Amino acid sequence: MLRLRNFKSEDQTLLVNYLNNPDVKRFLSPKIPSPYTMGDANWWVETGSKAGGIFAIEKDGLFIGCVSAIKGELEYCKSAEVGYWLAKEYWGQGIVTEALALLIKQVQTTTDIVRLHAIVFDGNTGSSKVLLKSGFVHEALLEKAIYKEGGFYNANLYGQVIK
C-alpha cells in the first residue's frame, strides 16, 4: 500500500543512501547537496521538509521517495511546482504516478492552488511519461534553462490546471 506522510527522523539513513545514488540524483536540482550527508538528512527532516506541501512516499511501511507541490509566491500564489524522486529499486512500477495522483488529490482538497507545473531535465523520459500519464501537458522547451555541475541542460515545462 502506498501513502504520503511527513518525514520522520528514522528516514535519515535511507535518505542518505537514496540521494547518494548517481542514478537517483542525476536529474535532481543541484540544491540537493552532493555528497548527501547525515547532517543534510537531519536538516531536511527537521527543517527543510516542513516548508509545506512536501511528503515522504511510503510503500508497505517503508520510506522510498519524496513528492511535493511547493506553492508559489505573489502573482504565482495559486500555482505550485511539483517535484519528486524515488529510490532506484522502485523505478518502473508506477509508484510515482500513484504518489502524484495522491498528491494532486490532496492539493485539490486542502489548498486554493489551481495550477501545477513541473520542470523536467531534457532526457528524463521517465519523468516526462509520469507527468503525461498524470494529466499534465507539455507546455514549453526552455533552452539552457538549467545549469548543473558545470553544464547547461534544456528544461521541459509541464503544466496542469486542477480546479
* Cα distance between residue 138 and residue 34, in whole Å: 30
* Cα distance between residue 12 and residue 23, in whole Å: 19
At 83 the pLDDT is 97
Residues 6+ apart with CB under 8 A from 50: 6
Low-confidence ranges of the chain (pLDDT < 70): none
Which domains are seen in the chain, by residue range? 2-161 (3.40.630.30)
At 92 the pLDDT is 95
At 110 the pLDDT is 96
- DSSP type of residue 76: G
At 123 the pLDDT is 95
At 41 the pLDDT is 98
At 59 the pLDDT is 98
Q: Is 149 helix (H, G, I), strand (E, B) or coil?
A: coil
* Cα distance between residue 45 and residue 94, in whole Å: 25
Q: How far is CA 158 from the centre of its chain?
A: 13
* Cα distance between residue 62 and residue 4, in whole Å: 11
Residue pointed to by grid coordinates 528524463: 124
